[in-house]
Structure 1
Amino acid sequence: MRKKLLLTLAIVACFAFGSTLANAETLTMGLKGEPTSLDPHFHNVSANNMMSLYIFDKLVRQDNRQKLQPGLAVSWTPVSDNVWEFKLRKGVKFHDGSPFTAEDVKFTFERIPNVPNSPSSFTGFVTGIKVDVVDAHTIRFTTEKPSPLLPRQMAAFTIVSKKNAEGASTADFNSGKAAIGTGPYALVKWERGDKITYKRNDDYWGEKLPWDTIIVRPITNDGTRVAALKSGDVDLINFVPPADVEHLGEDKKLHLSQSPSTRLIYIHLDTDRDDSPTVTGNNGEKIKNPLKDVRVRKAISKAINRRAIAARIMDGLAVPASQMVPDGYEGTSTRLKAETYDPKGAKELLKAAGYPEGFKLTIHGPNDRYVNDADIAQAIAQMLTKVGIKTEVSTMPKSVYFPSASKLQYSFMLVGWATDTGEQSNCIASLLHTYDKEKGFGASNRGRYSNPDLDATLEEALVTVNPEKHNELIIRATEMGIGDLGIIPIHYQVNVWGMKKGLDFNGRTDGYTLPREIKKTN
């Protein structure tokens, strides 16, 4: 009798265990590329910033169209022109059960400027801000001058645990030791090159989470990523290649979601050095850097057929760009238009600048970061060669490319940028303001473009409280930088996600793929 009872209990236990497995919900995603780190303050780049939102939270959230929403802060109020008071969410816990308080916010501000070897830091978002803890759930930020955009700045980085991150290295975050956040999911393990596994935070303060486990597989090759979706190896992929949109849309087992984006694809070019590393005369001889001449930069811009790139390489899933964010966002100029393709005008400008026979250069770029990035680089090289600028192409994995670009090893770079704050001042401050490590300006200005008038105009805008005057100054700074071709805008991506039937994701303008927003429809 005892043996029968034990056998019955064992069978019941097996069924119960099997039922648990059947009810467990796992979402497996194939995402283009892999973060360079899980330290949320190490590298201000989209893949890292997106992944940080799985583990950590921001004081101020952004919805899928980048409008501000309460996050770890439930409200923010200007006490005076240069003092903001934030009320923090009560009852929030880190993954280890410790409470979230204002001390964690203060620690985060102290940590950000001191992360070693950061290739593109968040320092500019916290510089010049004095942090005062009023009580456990109230904090005040005092700035040297008025700071009307401070709430937007708080939407640019995540908050870490003082208890777990104090004294921790970037390697400690990558191993999981210090990756203890308040976010919807807790890190289980990062197996580089294979997968990152997360488990649901059942004490999460936010919306109900449908997924027990999240598995992120980095799949850089577009064809492999699409094949993984079609075979059922993954449930969802991002950055569906434009060439695959039509046939995936016809597959009755799949569903596509499309969203406009703030992702700008652009050229950054060395406008600083007389001797630039990958620019030479036509016979390989050293020449004074022609990219310093605005006529040459204008010639390059005219030589690029943006509409052809959008239509042929991006299969219509791109919009030719005139500035750093699309029309309609705060700080955009109605006077700036996408450059018209004009190869004849390009040749005339090269001749006027003293380069009637052109010169040689190399375009460097990633081959696993943006949609069709290597193909875009090839197309631009061909277009420039046609007007006399003999252009070679060198593309490589982003893990190799970005550190080298940040060390200023290239002259002419294909890059992408998506605004962290949902408006244009963030772009100007990072891409076009003169590089200033101490103040955090120009953190991603890999061409080292410098225009004192632009710097002064932007800095005035950042302390101007009147919204209309602020916007006018941002537009003026934008027109200066784009008019001077400190960068050369190419296009804005249109992002497409592919997923199994039964899943729903509306997409985001920042291009992020966030599991908390992926729902089951059946």
Structure 2
Amino acid sequence: MRLSRRALGAAAVSSALATQAVAQSQSERSLTIATGGSITAIDPHFFNATPNSALAVHIFEALVQRTPDVKFVPGLATSWRVIEPTLWEFKLRENVKWHDGRPFTAEDVAFTYARAPDVPNSPGGFGGYLRSIKRVEIVDPLTVRLHTHAPNPILSTDLASIFIVAKHAAEGATTEDYNSGKAAIGTGPYKLVSYQPNNRTELVRNDDYWGEREPWARVSYRFIASPAARSAALLSGDVDMIDQVASSDLARFRREPRTSVHETVGLRCVYLMADFSRDGNLPFVTDNNGQPLPQNPFKDVRVRQALTSIINRQNIAERVMEGQATATNQWLPPGVFSHTPDVAVPVPNVEHSRRLLAEAGYPNGFKLVLHTPNDRFPNDSRIAQAVAQFWTRIGVQTQVEAVPWANFSARSNRQDYAMRLNSWGSVTGEASFMISNVMMTYDREKRTGASNAGRFSSAELDQLTNAAASNVDNAARERGLQDLVRWVAREVPVMPLIQLNHTWATRRGLTYTARMDERTVAMNVRPA
């Protein structure tokens, strides 16, 4: 049968309209993500915690971007070079606009690097990334030079964690101004619509973004603390993707035809840290009769050695984590720069640990409360319970108190706890990052120890870290950092336990590029 020209024309118009409707439908697609990490602020400099940064990267950008496999590529800077050992030059990207249409310039970079280390009431800030910078020199609107106190061979890597904010929006702004949206003006692929703490954040696509156009017109970023509730939300179709998949649900999601699992080895280490800020009368620590101890037991290295060596890390990795973690006594996995093969996982020995306690003056042990978050990373409170059982076997009678992350982080950084379970992601891929932030002496001016909640302090550790981190010879720097890993294993300022694997699950029809830095971001979600 032959069609008339009019019929052919009508068919063509109909086909074009259908194609246009499909394209419009695709351009208006939305994405709903459920995360298990509590986001405490939109302010990208308020708290150096992965949930905060994972959300911030939708709105804000850094000079250097971090890829899912932890490589570092141009972001708001297109190139950088070392002019002298203590002088770096960064060329900024042209024609980048803030969400309100104003141009991005070097003034914004200089303002950001002055603001980021000193945000009021921060429970753990970003000063560690910027501690080597002495001053920022603006050469022209699209060129900045960074003068450092000493050589810093990984300066560009450090800067990947500092989100640039708009000077015109951020001057005089508080963290609450970001949370309300007033100051949340970024250059990123999404704009902030609304933020509800401990509930959800709504984002809309930035159609004027300088980079690749995102397929999602809207992103709803929800906080669901319970792993079981996150899994149920995905299976019911309420959300499109979840992170921190419960180890008990992984097998089911792999079998389930409606879902896909995406996973990778991570850089996050779960560790324990005692309080070193007091000499005596430590809160949550008593003798066996409930009376305060005259001295802080954790200042004796023999006590720390007794506590770390009795923990059966393999048991935690295999049973508590159901194989979704690796036992460790350091904070970087094999194959990563400065991993130290001869620092082995301790073999638990009850008699050895009891003998160390007796030598330190605690033959009958003591009582202790171990504090832990219950919604920060998979099985966090269950890990703490396992640790408590191991310590109780050697006479350190341990109770566990689990609290939500937002409360835990604030109290921990006020030194409210005698012993805490926490975690750290070494997103720079070398050992100095955790040392400088978590173990070096807390010093606001030197920008060290920003996340040293236990206030451990050692002049020897500080000196060794500064020397190793400033060595521009990669092989020599790695040897120096490996010596520091051995020092930490011997002196026990922290007790590394396990290295986490990271998992996400999506509804069928979506793919997610799993990230070693564990960030959950819409920009890595694509239609299959």
Residue type at the aligned position of 1:209 = E
- Partner-residue secondary structure (3-state), 1:65: coil
Pair 1:152 & 2:157 matched: yes
Q: Match for 1:455 among 445, 455, 462? A: 462
* Equivalent position of 2:51 in the other structure: 47
CA distance in 1, matches of 2:59, 2:206: 9
Deviation at 1:17, TM superposition (A): 9.2
Residue type at the aligned position of 1:440 = R
CA distance in 2, matches of 1:449, 1:464: 24
Q: How does 1:348-497 map to 2 (within 5 A)?
A: 348-497=355-504
Give the 3 Å change call, closer, same or farther, for CA 471–28 of structure 1 in structure 2: same
Deviation at 1:210, TM superposition (A): 1.3
Pair 1:509 & 2:516 matched: yes
* Equivalent position of 2:6 in the other structure: none
Q: Match for 1:107 among 92, 106, 111? A: 111
Deviation at 1:206, TM superposition (A): 2.2
* Equivalent position of 1:342 in the other structure: 349
Residue type at the aligned position of 2:93 = R
Unaligned runs of 5+ in 2: 1-16
* Equivalent position of 2:267 in the other structure: 262
Deviation at 1:256, TM superposition (A): 0.5
Q: How does 1:102-251 map to 2 (within 5 A)?
A: 102-127=106-131, 128-251=133-256
Q: Match for 2:327 among 320, 331, 334? A: 320
Residue type at the aligned position of 2:201 = I
Confirm or deny: 8 A CA contact 2:189 2:213 kept in the other structure: no
Q: Give TM-score, length-normalised by structure 1.
A: 0.94
Give the 3 Å change call, closer, same or farther, for CA 432–74 of structure 1 in structure 2: same
Confirm or deny: 8 A CA contact 2:27 2:215 kept in the other structure: no
CA distance in 1, matches of 2:447, 2:332: 21
Confirm or deny: 8 A CA contact 1:58 1:157 kept in the other structure: yes
CA distance in 1, matches of 2:453, 2:38: 22
Pair 1:284 & 2:290 matched: yes
Structure 1 vs Structure 2 CA RMSD: 1.7
Q: How does 1:43-122 map to 2 (within 5 A)?
A: 43-122=47-126
Confirm or deny: 8 A CA contact 2:116 2:162 kept in the other structure: no
- Superposed CA deviations along residues 451-494 of structure 1, whole A, max 9, x for unmatched, are 21111011112322222222222222222123211000010111
Deviation at 1:272, TM superposition (A): 4.3
Unaligned runs of 5+ in 1: 1-12
Deviation at 1:383, TM superposition (A): 1.3
CA distance in 2, matches of 1:446, 1:194: 27
CA distance in 2, matches of 1:355, 1:399: 34
Confirm or deny: 8 A CA contact 1:130 1:143 kept in the other structure: yes
CA distance in 1, matches of 2:489, 2:74: 34
- Superposed CA deviations along residues 140-198 of structure 1, whole A, max 9, x for unmatched, are 00112222121111112100011111111111100111101011111011123332110
CA distance in 2, matches of 1:506, 1:50: 14
Deviation at 1:23, TM superposition (A): 5.1
Confirm or deny: 8 A CA contact 1:196 1:215 kept in the other structure: yes
Confirm or deny: 8 A CA contact 2:41 2:197 kept in the other structure: no
Give the 3 Å change call, closer, same or farther, for CA 19–504 of structure 1 in structure 2: closer
- Superposed CA deviations along residues 13-70 of structure 1, whole A, max 9, x for unmatched, are 9x99999567511010111032110000111111111111010001111111211111
CA distance in 2, matches of 1:194, 1:333: 41
Name the stretch that deviates more: 159-168 or 21-30: 21-30
Confirm or deny: 8 A CA contact 2:308 2:495 kept in the other structure: yes
CA distance in 1, matches of 2:386, 2:226: 19
Name the stretch that deviates more: 333-342 or 178-187: 333-342
Confirm or deny: 8 A CA contact 1:78 1:84 kept in the other structure: yes
Deviation at 1:448, TM superposition (A): 1.6
Confirm or deny: 8 A CA contact 2:202 2:218 kept in the other structure: yes
Confirm or deny: 8 A CA contact 1:155 1:420 kept in the other structure: no
Residue type at the aligned position of 1:76 = W
Give the 3 Å change call, closer, same or farther, for CA 235–35 of structure 1 in structure 2: same
- Partner-residue secondary structure (3-state), 2:383: helix
Residue type at the aligned position of 1:331 = S
Confirm or deny: 8 A CA contact 1:95 1:182 kept in the other structure: yes
Identity %: 39
Deviation at 1:281, TM superposition (A): 0.5
Residue type at the aligned position of 1:486 = P
Residue type at the aligned position of 2:367 = K
Confirm or deny: 8 A CA contact 1:161 1:180 kept in the other structure: yes
- Partner-residue secondary structure (3-state), 1:28: strand
Give the 3 Å change call, closer, same or farther, for CA 91–267 of structure 1 in structure 2: same
* Equivalent position of 2:14 in the other structure: none
- Partner-residue secondary structure (3-state), 1:202: coil
CA distance in 1, matches of 2:64, 2:267: 19
How many matched pairs? 508
Pair 1:30 & 2:34 matched: yes
- Superposed CA deviations along residues 195-254 of structure 1, whole A, max 9, x for unmatched, are 211011112222331111100110001111110001000000000000111112111111
- Partner-residue secondary structure (3-state), 1:159: coil
Deviation at 1:303, TM superposition (A): 1.6
Confirm or deny: 8 A CA contact 1:432 1:481 kept in the other structure: no
- Superposed CA deviations along residues 100-151 of structure 1, whole A, max 9, x for unmatched, are 1111101101212331111111123223421011111111001122221211
Name the stretch that deviates more: 266-275 or 490-499: 266-275
Deviation at 1:388, TM superposition (A): 0.9
Confirm or deny: 8 A CA contact 1:329 1:424 kept in the other structure: no
Residue type at the aligned position of 1:369 = R
Residue type at the aligned position of 1:437 = R
Pair 1:329 & 2:336 matched: yes
Name the stretch that deviates more: 369-378 or 113-122: 113-122
Confirm or deny: 8 A CA contact 1:160 1:181 kept in the other structure: yes
* Equivalent position of 1:9 in the other structure: none
CA distance in 1, matches of 2:46, 2:186: 16
